[in-house]
Structure 1
Amino acid sequence: MSQSVRTIVVGVASVDDTDPVLPPCVALARELGATLHVAHALDRPGEEPRERLEARVRALAGGVPTVCHVVEGAATDHLPELAQELGADLLVVGATRRSRIRRWFLGTTAEGVVRRATVPVLVQRGALAREARRVLLTTDLSGVSPGVHEQGVDLVEALAGERFPDLRTLLVVQDAAAALLPRAALERLAQQELDGFVRARRPRERAIQPKVRVGCVADEILAEAAEWRPELLVVGSHGRAGHRPLLGSVAGATLRGAACNVLVVPPGAGERPAGGEADAALPLVSVA
């Protein structure tokens, strides 16, 4: 295994027993032998909320090393800062807003955390990645793509249970590129490029299946996810402003529209795209 998960930070919306994100995170930390940091942000933190959170975590932990953090201010600021300070391997937040038709949507807190985080963020909508049978990764073949893709697969390997999931890497060719070449030629060229990208990655326990689609990037990612039905979707937060990653428009739309768990991987140091801008212009494709 190329990476281990030793430190997990989870943000909870409640200090009581109403937040569904906490129990699966405790179970995940137990299975991985990781330390779990449970964080809750309040306008005015005090001893009572901390004691209630500690009691809740203690009742669930059952020997799992845990640390509780109750902080003053916005979760969108404090969760990413805490994860960075701790050198966390994973930050977990829940997608906590629902529509009238009972479909999960991305809450403002979860999106704000993803925008500011410098460590991988798992936005939880269902069972955690350890139970995943299928994982859909995305790439745009940009300069940050190799590092983001490798780290994403590393985390999938670290989180996988006894059955390693099927992996598929998706490349979406933008609509505009279809005007430059016949569709069949465009798909063939994109498939060749993606095949080469996948071959250049480190060997894994299971071969990664490359897949090409043509169309609106976010729409095609969501369509592929709806058809193939992965339990986990992996995207990159594309670009940086200073030392802070930016959430690209395609990644943001994918994150908000996905029905499954989403793992958002920030670009690593030294892998920023030219100019450091989000959604940098690419000749054929753009994913995150």
Structure 2
Amino acid sequence: MSGHRPVVVGIDGSPSSLQAVAWAAREAAFRNSPLSLITTMFVPGRYGVPIGVPASFFQDEERDGKDRLERAAQTARDAVPGYDIDIETTVCTGTPAGELLARSADAAMLVVGANRRGIIDRAVLGSVSSAIATHAPCPVAVIRGEPDRDINDIPGPVVVGVDGSQHSEPAISMAFEEATLRQSELVAVHAWSDIVLELSLDGGSEAEWTRDAANETALLAENLAGRAENYPDVKVRTIVVRDRATRHLREQAENAQLLVVGSRGRGGFSSMLLGSTSRALMHSVVCPLLIVR
């Protein structure tokens, strides 16, 4: 458990950021962690905008920021009735991504909403979520806003992507922990090919593929074995496919309450901090996505 390390949430007042707050409040309650809510105020000149605004501008910006945080704090309290979570609120003057990253080293998790209703929303929110998912050392949760659903009432299992590399090891551990906290089933998906190949009519090739599939199934079992012993109450279901990981993880996420993936897979270059699979899922899945470095 993370103990005193906070769950940090970026607030911009949008419906998706408030759903991110509700989700993060539950996560903080599960972990007995404080909840840190931060928002940013616009500072003329810092972003290349000429200075020359009324003196009341800063007071108005700060007041708006405090109002956003007050609504967010109430949203957090309403999301976890019966829990007395410690909530801290801060109005910052830096960029949203910069402020979140500055807190990432000491955070249990960063949480950001990503509604993406229009072109501007997709550009701004996408850049913030991509930046923190790429550079934050702690886990990053991306919450896609669903206005007609309570984000904490989404049913289904916790799904984790397993590729057999060391990069998925932390994600597996985190997924078991989340399944325990949520008292849910864990679905482990292992896609053992990064390209789509049609089954050959040649019998030898089919036999080889059958052998490879057995080896990959054994590899998945090996990856899960130690953690399954540490979490005996978690029911684990495994899925092994010879196909692209992104497509099958997206399919499983449609009926999941949480999808957990590593930040970079076995095919990523050492300089690539955020892999193609996690990046694609961040912009496509509907359920909460947790990216673990």
Same fold (TM over 0.5): yes
Q: Report 1:263-282 matches (<5 A).
A: 263-266=290-293
Whichever residue aligns with residue 88 of structure 2, its letter is V
Structure 2, unmatched stretches of 5+, are 44-57, 78-83, 120-124
TM, length-normalised to structure 2: 0.71
Residue among 143, 153, 174 paired with 2:193:
174
In structure 2, what is the Cα distance between the partners aligned to 1:232 and 1:29? 16
Structure 1 or 2, whichever has the larger Rg, is: 2
Query: Following TM superposition, by how much is the alpha carbon of 1:99 offset from its aligned partner in structure 2, in angstroms?
Result: 6.6
2:18–2:75 contact (8 Å) kept in structure 1: no
Aligned match of 1:221: 249
Q: Point out the more displaced range, 19-28 or 181-190.
A: 19-28
Q: How many pairs does the alignment contain?
A: 251
Query: Following TM superposition, by how much is the alpha carbon of 1:235 offset from its aligned partner in structure 2, in angstroms?
Result: 0.4
Q: Does 1:138 align with 2:161?
A: yes
Q: Does 1:194 align with 2:215?
A: no
Aligned match of 2:236: 208
Structure 1, unmatched stretches of 5+, are 101-105, 267-288
Aligned match of 2:104: 83
Q: CA RMSD in A?
A: 3.5
Are residues 95 and 5 of structure 1, via their aligned partners in 2, closer, same or farther at CA, if it must alter by over 3 Å? farther
Are residues 139 and 27 of structure 1, via their aligned partners in 2, closer, same or farther at CA, if it must alter by over 3 Å? closer
Query: Following TM superposition, by how much is the alpha carbon of 1:80 offset from its aligned partner in structure 2, in angstroms?
Result: 2.0
Query: Following TM superposition, by how much is the alpha carbon of 1:17 offset from its aligned partner in structure 2, in angstroms?
Result: 11
Q: Does 1:51 align with 2:66?
A: yes
Q: Report 1:48-127 matches (<5 A).
A: 48-57=63-72, 59-60=74-75, 64-84=85-105, 87-98=106-117, 107-125=126-144, 127=150
Higher strand share: 1
Query: Following TM superposition, by how much is the alpha carbon of 1:9 offset from its aligned partner in structure 2, in angstroms?
Result: 0.6
Are residues 32 and 146 of structure 1, via their aligned partners in 2, closer, same or farther at CA, if it must alter by over 3 Å? closer
Identity of counterpart residues, as a percentage?
21
Query: Which runs of at least 4 in structure 1 moved beyond 4 Å after TM superposition?
Result: 2-6, 15-18, 57-63, 126-132, 175-181, 239-242
Whichever residue aligns with residue 207 of structure 1, its letter is K
In structure 1, what is the Cα distance between the partners aligned to 2:16 and 2:6? 23
Higher helix share: 2
Query: Following TM superposition, by how much is the alpha carbon of 1:57 offset from its aligned partner in structure 2, in angstroms?
Result: 4.5
In structure 1, what is the Cα distance between the partners aligned to 2:269 and 2:195? 27
Whichever residue aligns with residue 156 of structure 2, its letter is R
SS of residue matched to 2:283: helix
2:161–2:260 contact (8 Å) kept in structure 1: yes
Query: Following TM superposition, by how much is the alpha carbon of 1:60 offset from its aligned partner in structure 2, in angstroms?
Result: 4.6
